[in-house]
Structure 1
Amino acid sequence: MTEKLIKKDQVKLTSLSSKGGCGCKINPLDLSEVLRQLPKTSNDPNLLVGLDTSDDAGVYRINDDVALVQTLDFFTPIVDDPYMFGQIAAANALSDVYAMGGTPLTAMNIVGFPIDTLDKQILTDILTGASHKVTEAGATLVGGHSIDDKEPKFGLSVTGTVHPNKIKTNNGAQVGDKLILTKPIGVGILTTSIKKDMLTETELNNLMELLATLNKTAAETMQAYTVHASTDVTGFSLLGHASEMAKGSDVGITIHKDNVPLLERVRELAEQSIIPGGAKKNHQWLSDKVVYDDAIDEVDQLILSDPVTSGGLLIAVPADEAEALQSELQNKNVPAAIVGTVTEENTGMIHVE
């Protein structure tokens, strides 16, 4: 954990966003309305993964052995410590490359900052945190772009590499696969709680430490297994990203609610109606895509729909390899859990039991 924890008399970055510092993506209902009006993507045969799927990054083949993985992500502050905000934003952006089976190569900063109203040291700390995380990933920071903005925003554009035959997408899950999740969920609920001063210092530090953790170890470990599909769990929630996997793979998915790991106090806070708007919008978007058992109450449904920042990987592997992969990840301090099963029934749908 960094020593650069924010002091009580410092500015609260999460209070500077008109959206409450949620860092949320545009909700899926609105986004799908926009995207379906776009022209079809290029017929370039070297474009291996593009806009036609709901994958985490684009992939473009350079030659028979190398393809580029390209992604970007940025958001408003979800924590008040600027150094940790930089770390979390960087880990979140780098995650898309890991989800595609790639290795991060270079990164560029994306900055919006009210330079005349906030201390410049805050921006320095954000950029320093991100730089340290990029270095940890083994990538190189090569530049960036900044604008003077009323609200602070930060993220990265990341380029990675992958062998064209080793790309991991979210559309290859097979019937009988088990789904492994490598980080607990409930991030949106806890970051909403930060604005209400409902987390202890220890709880806040633990949360920031988890969000700043790269998916590097998980991505490298899964390479030795038969991974049929992979995605990272971010703003569209565990159920949202599982739904995209089910639709893209033409399979059904059952999520075992009791197996899904939650961050500390998530259920308690959700029962107090500490629910971000993004969770409610995700829940609405998923209303015709998810079937819940009677025992799954609305609080459970909203938790499973909670928008995640810098979440874990969701990995589909054959059932006979799942426990071995889970065990190896846990031995490497990755909190992996088997949370679901790929089914032949309910094609394109999610069943929560």
Structure 2
Amino acid sequence: MGTAVNSNSWVPSSGIELSEAGLSFQYYCDCLINLGGGENGLGRPLRQIRPLVSGSVPLQYAIMFLVAQHRQYPREKRLNFKGRALTAFRKDLSRADDVVKLGVILILLFAEAVDSGIGPWRIHLLAVRGIMEAQHSMKSLKKPWNSIEIDLYLQFYWWDTIGALLSMQKPVLPPKALEALLDQGKPKGSRYEDCQHEQLLPCSKAMFLRLVEVAHGDAPEIGKPPVTSKSNVIAHQRASFDSKVDSLWYHALATYGVTAYPPYRVGRATFDYHAGQVFDLARDLVDDPRLRHRIMFPLLVSGSCTDDPKRRDFFQWYCESSFEETRFGYFNLGLTIAKNVEQLRSDERSSRKNYAGAAYSCWRNLTATEDAEHAMLG
């Protein structure tokens, strides 16, 4: 096994041939943290995994596989790292600590998203659920998880929820355990919003739980467009960052309800209102590093069925610029889905099938397929 040389540097076991890449293992660790976006979002659980690396060969190979994907190494080298990670993981599975297991699964899942946005996310999450259920057989939900476990599980719940919404399937992970996790992450006597784990979610606790409810089949509310007034515009401009984020997700869920559930009879004006709100809020929030990579789903469901060329252009810019910045494959995947929906809607218009006024069924027909269970937009 590897040896920790100081508090900020870990070296891998001698079995890993870093000379193949010509890079130090410190470089891989630093890339891993930077890839996750620093202290907020995915960066924090990845940073917390880092001290465990020297004692786990599967973690070492998983990190190398993730960085190789992101740095776009030749396919043969990437597959070599992936094969080594999976082989080492299987060998180490019976004796590995649960946190190490969760760390390996998170990195492998993240590597799939970096590569193309297509991967067996449900298989990964079934393994996570197995670990969670084994833990619960030994302790009740009221007994605390440690901080690293909470961070890791919240990331898995995020991928689970967005993947389920996209593919119109039920989530894999149990909602009861999520509420327990969120409650345990709150320091005694404080508000949940003051909790460090809140930073890992792209919205408030209440809104995230609402996303999970919708993913489990509870249809979202679809409010009618309000009467526009000068006071409404001023209030929107003065809204806090947190309220804007929750508003974005509220309108995204409303748009999702319009486009995902038959009989698609909601008026076009209602769809346009909610979609417009999503894009207006996204323009205000897109440059924030906490959110830039976590608003793909709202823009996808609101942009796929729009006829507004400015919104289409914004969505294309968002996907292309985000891909250039991060090399995350799911930005290309999202743009492909939106363009395919646009083509389906065009076909319906030409055959006069869009009598509902928006041809909303196209989005569901494209994403609720067997292949959709492998699409990740996390």
TM-score by length of 1: 0.27
- More contact order relative to length (CA 8 Å, sep ≥ 6): 1
TM-score by length of 2: 0.25
Structure 1 or 2: larger strand share?
1
Q: Between Structure 1 and Structure 2, whose CA radius of gyration is higher? A: 2
